[in-house]
Amino acid sequence: MASTDASPDAAEHGFHRLSWLQRIGFGAGDLAQNLIYNTVATYLLFFYTQVFGLGAGVAATMFLVVRLIDVVWDPLVGTFVDKHTTPWGRYRGYLVLAGIPLSVFAVLVFWNGFSGSLLYAYITYVGLSMLYTLLNVPYGALNASLTRDNQEISVLTTTRMFMANIGGLAVAFGVPVIVQAISPTGDWGTPDAAGAWQTTMTIFAAVGLVVLVFCFSQTRERVVMDTAHQEDVKLSDLLVEFRRNQHLRTLAFFFVTAFAMMAVGNSGAAYYMTEVVHREDLAGWFNALGVLPAFVFLPLVPAIRRAIGKRALFIAFLLVGIVGLAMLYFIPDPSHHVAWVLVAQIIRSIGIIVATGYMWALVPEVITFGEWKTGRRISGIVNALTGIFFKAGFALGGVVPGIVLAVTGYVSDTERQSDSAQQGILWLVSVIPAILLILAIVIISRYRLSDEQLVEMNREIEARHAGEGADGSDRSPALPNSSLADKTLTGSLDLTQKNSDD
């Protein structure tokens, strides 16, 4: 690992503090990605089935195929970005290099010029997904390259999620409002609205690209792997790191459940408000209430984490999310109890936003653990791994709604859905997400890295680099071998673990 800034105290070299402009600049990257990709993730199934003319089962199959392609593509991208450096840094250059074509493909995905063409849908959606990986993996790795300071990473993550939810709010509330406003019929779920969808996506993609450029201008890589070690990075590192880094495994499985839960719920929301609540005019408000609590609760996350610990924070807020989901299911005749629907959405979103927002702070932690054990900071590889698992979650989230709608007899062009179809929609917005949240609680309970352990690991890593001789000879402390490292985490540091999380 090398840090690009000089410091009089080598042991403190990587513990950088950032200005608020730099924090906001980094967080702007997630704002941009939400404006572009979250629009696709939230509305593409609805667009395909209601506007473009694909069947629900066909669209679900395509979503699965694209995610399978991602399983191959993600590790290739992770390996590539760790092995190569752009003229503007190892990771930050991709904010522009991938951001420009991503914005173009986002618009093409919502173009109805080849209405009903499955081939066109595959070409544009596969291209979009591959470009998103080429942007998202380096952006995730950029987080771990800004600083080693754990408190700074916590603030960075909170800022990043705050900015991401600004994008989420714009997508949740803005997309339905803009599409319906400029649609010739005022409806967003018919082929006549095709031009409105493309215009709306063009606006979001253009703004997203400008924000990506701002992120590029405000970020600077300070903690990255030595260039001398770049050539040692290979594709097999992905499997090796997954096998030896138990904390990465825990986080990866949590990502699967969390993103599957969000994808299923988000995909079902438009159908829920249109076909169950029968208030299409309130779809934007329903989606907005899934984001608004972020602006109240995310700034409180660092204080809550310090007060109760990371695992307790996750479990408490996941339980809050389950309560909200249960309310959505048990509200009788939602079309006559719209106020309760909105209250349930608020409660659901409070729990989910905090838990799924803070999980990103754990990615730099597992990167640090891997570096402590091996001496290599393979941020791209680790983010490719997490990318595979969160896209696996998206795959489930993309496939499950189409299957549920098909099995329960959903018909896209009908005055009123059957009772079984409405029950299927309720499963999408409530039951299936609740089951996934329960599984997420079980998984995150196994995460054991405490803040105190991470501080000691980071200081030991910096001490190794400080011990390197001017002639390049290694005078640093020896790396912990795998068995000793595991014993350290479960033995000598148990006291700090109890103080931190229990």
Q: Where are the beta strands (DSSP E) in 281-413?
A: none
User: What's the total number of domains in the chain?
Assistant: 1
Name the pairing type of β-strands 2-3 and 223-224: antiparallel
Answer yes or no: is 257 within a domain: yes
Estimate the crossing angle of helix 338-358 against helix 310-330, to 10 degrees.
160
In a domain, 492, yes or no: no
Give, in degrees to the nearest 5, the angle at Cα 82 between 81 and 86: 50
Is 388 contained in some domain? yes
Q: Do the beta carbons of residue 35 and residue 167 sit within 8 Å? A: yes
Q: Which tens digit of pLDDT belongs to each residue from 32-63?
A: 999 998 898 888 988 998 899 888 888 888 98
Q: In terms of pLDDT, which residue wins out, 399 or 174?
A: 174
What CATH number does residue 301 fall under? 1.20.1250.20
- What does each C-alpha distance from 198 to 263, 282, 462 come to in angstroms? 22, 22, 50
Task: Report which of residues 109 and 221 the model is more confident about.
Answer: 109
What kind and span of H or E run contains 333? none
CA distance linking residue 61 with residue 228, whole number of Å:
44
* pLDDT at residue number 415: 74
Percent of the chain scored above 70 by pLDDT? 86
- Three-class SS of residue 474? strand
- Residue 5 inside a domain? The answer is no
**Domain presence at residue 66:** yes
pLDDT tens-digit profile of 86-96?
A: 888 888 999 99
Torsion of CA 98, 100, 104, 106, to 10 degrees: 50
Q: What is the reported pTM?
A: 0.72
pLDDT digits (tens, 9 = 90+) for 335-364: 889 999 999 999 999 999 888 888 888 888
Residue 139 is assigned to a structural domain of this protein: yes
Q: How many CA atoms lie within 13 A of 253 on its CB side?
A: 16
Q: Which range of residues forms the domain containing residue 86?
A: 22-221+228-457
Distance CA 325, CA 344 (A): 7
Of the chain, the percentage scoring pLDDT greater than 90 comes to 32
> Which element (helix H / strand E) includes 359?
none
Residue 499 lies in a domain: no
Q: Are 208 and 336 in contact (CB under 8 A)?
A: no
Q: What is the pLDDT of residue 33?
A: 93
Listed in sequence order, the residues at least 6 apart from 242 whose beta carbon sits closer than 8 Å to its beta carbon are 248, 249, 252, 385
Cβ contact 409:421 at 8 Å: yes
> Does some domain include residue 121?
yes
Nearest to 139 by CA among 93, 106, 105: 93
